[in-house]
Structure 1
Amino acid sequence: MRAARLLSLLLLLQNRGRLTAGELAEELGVSVRTVYRDIDSLSGAGIPVYGDAGHHGGYELLGGYRTRLTGLHAEEAESLFLAGLPGAADDLGLGEVLAAAQLKLTAALPAPLRDRSGRVRERFHLDALGWYREQDSPPALVALAHAVWNQRRIRVRYRRWAEPQEVERELDPYGLVLKAGVWYLVAATDDAVRTYRVSSILRLDVGEDGFERPDGFDLAAHWQDYLHAYDARRLRLQASVRIAPALLSALPDRLDAALVRAVEASAGPPEADGWVTATVPLESVESALPTLLSLGPDIEVLAPEELRRALAATAAAMLDRYRPADTSGRCGAGDLSSSPADSVASRESAASTAKP
């Protein structure tokens, strides 16, 4: 580990020029004191590292020194597929390995290409996490990643929605998928290939027995098939709705992609007022309520009648919840049951009475 860190330190100085001890410590994830010791070790090994004290000081390599020790180890080469997802690499325990691989690749590039790669990193950043969500980093993830890579059979205790909620399964782990910041395990049981949320694994035991992956198994293709089948299973309630023009253009920001695609595919021609009628697939009446209520008055459910009644009952309960209390038994000025015309008439009457 120390030898790898010394090489990383050397490559940092080679690729970036002068760096302070604090900057090197932050890059390497060690203390400043450790950096001092590593610099002494490099100097003792004949590496021309020069240190300049003061506010603008730091360490640099003298005389254009360049190391040719830039070959990738097996783990470093394997980690490169995560180059655009440093958070995912950290979750899988490959953060340091990936950083070392990137340093070696950069050092091996000719100067013009090295500069171009640096500009790409400075100008483009991939953040695959959805808004308002934190990165899912389950405790079992690193051990699970090793089991996937080494093709080791596992036994898990898993929490699910159905009863009994906690079950034990023996699985052949085929792969891990990061979807919108959440990790999923694709694994084979006795009868099928299934998907498990990694954060729902309560206990993980990695066995010594190996397993054989099916020839031609494509993790990416399997995941896409799973997503299509999942949407087909969960979106079983077909609702006929009318949508206002303003909401129609804002739907991609208000609904998930499967619902937006369904609206676009089923929307009829605009009516005289600009509203359109479409069919929206939903999970159930209960799960549809918060989704539809969040869209406000710019959507009207036409069918099924059960969903209309549930929306009306919920809206009435909300109205009752926010109706101002009236201890006198009369409608207050802010009472929601009085009409705007009644309020205007009351104000005009009060004003005429108050005139001298």
Structure 2
Amino acid sequence: MVGSVDADSIYAGDGVDWIEAGLGRDRVMGRAGNDFLFASVWRDPATGAAAPAADDAAGDLLDGGAGDDLIVGEAGADLVFGGSGSDVIHGDAGDDLIFGDGTGGGNGDWSVTRDVTLNPDGSWNFTSTLTGVAMDIDGDGDADVILAGAGADFVHGMEGNDFIDGGEGNDALWGGNGADTLLGGDGDDHLMGGHTMILNADGTQGYTTVIDPEDVGDLIDGGAGDDRIYGNAGDDTLVGGSGDDVIQGNDGNDSLRGGTDNDELIAGEGDDVLSGYTHQLRPQRSQHRRRQRMPVLRHERHRRNKNRLPPSPRLPAQPAIATRAGVHA
């Protein structure tokens, strides 16, 4: 099925469907079956040849529905729902909003307003308002592969053990419930393994939904750029990569790797392993910071109990800065 150059609404039937939405601001609903959904692929009327319409920046709504789907956003700021099943989602170019599971319905036009606010303490707030879309974001627990592509993307894997690659651009990636793998790629990214996320949807059935994290470990790699990386309640592996990163393990027995630049490592609860840093130790916050660009081969186990370290006669009342280099046993 091939759409036109106008704003189309395309609803697939049951079974395996191939849909090319074409140009325009389209709404494509895959429904049941293993579907192939393309946002901006169109066919030249003269030759019949299929080609991606790279200049189509209108943005589409793509909903895979039930089944194991392949969804390609192409150009434009797309809104994508994988639906139930183990889906493969390519956001491609554009500032996309992608949900690994769940569905989005409703009639008429829609809009997405997104805002990220950084707080003085380094934490941040994310707000996404969807108008004209009724969302059901209850996942089925299947594993999705999400390749966000270029652009400043917002991705939530939701249920299941998902693989999420932010690609280029300053992305915000949530793993959701499950043992997820998050790759930030190039850009200054925000990566969260399983933190609570609140979605504000103002549409035909507006509501607020809270997704609770599970105690499952994630693998998160920030890649290039100045990233903020947060683990969940499980045993996480958090890698900063290049750039000046902030890495917070939170609960669980985590492994935090600082990378090659000026990184800040916050151990959190549990027996954590921090590696690749020279450190600044703060008794109240159990915080480690890379102070210099130099090779450091040191691994340290550290445990925080109720946000406070046990008293130590070797620590002064004020935060002490100690730089260590070389190989330590």
TM-score by length of 1: 0.23
TM-score by length of 2: 0.24
Point out which structure has higher relative CO (alpha carbons under 8 A, 6+ apart): 1
